[in-house]
Structure 1
């Protein structure tokens, strides 16, 4: 059944986070349905937390995060926002946060179900509304599959 762990206030933005081995995918259903993978970047700082594509959210907005797992149970943890929620295959868990200031925030997968597990970094860049709007436009183009811009990774990454 639909069991909600907490009462989610009316969201300004919904992001769907899918835990995979060993990275997260983020979809933005409210902003043109693009989706992208966020993998640990070997050359980014801080070490083991930097990623190639951050989740980007606007400041002072209620961000609803729907979390699920593609393979095993992962945990989506963002201590800065008091968020920790399990990403379970076949289930959609929901949480929310509101970032009071701009900047980079880091979290990570905190379940230990594999040797690489500590290295599923979560990087969130909190920006002003205007910057978020322009990022969305860029992301729609960057992550669109086949240039159609309808749905970025409907098929998912090829194995």
Structure 2
């Protein structure tokens, strides 16, 4: 996971070619009930009941990558790789 100004880039090391960018939705793009500043255009989808390791870095300035509902937050800094592993026990949107 790489932080950039206003978006995140995701790539999956075990699935070659699977990569995408995820931008925060603007207020006028939000559907009724979607949380402001937390909803994105492309969600990261991960399997459940499998240990998933996230490797977080930055392409520019310091960013903060988080999954608030899972109490996960990591700082993304250029030149530094921060990692966290997590096994999602259920299917859902986090």
- TM bin, normalised by shorter chain, reads 0.7 to 0.9
TM-score by length of 1: 0.52
1:84 equivalent in structure 2: 73
Count of residues paired in the alignment: 89
Report which of the two has the higher share of helix: 1
Structure 2 unmatched runs, 5+: none
TM-score by length of 2: 0.84
Q: Which has the larger radius of gyration?
A: 1
Cα deviation for residue 41 of structure 1 reads 2.0
1:101 equivalent in structure 2: 90
Determine if the alignment matches structure 1 residue 23 to structure 2 residue 7.
yes
Q: Which of structure 1's runs of 4+ aligned residues deviate more than 3 A?
A: none
CA contact (8 A) 1:83 1:96 kept: no
Over aligned residue pairs, what C-alpha RMSD do you find?
Answer: 1.4
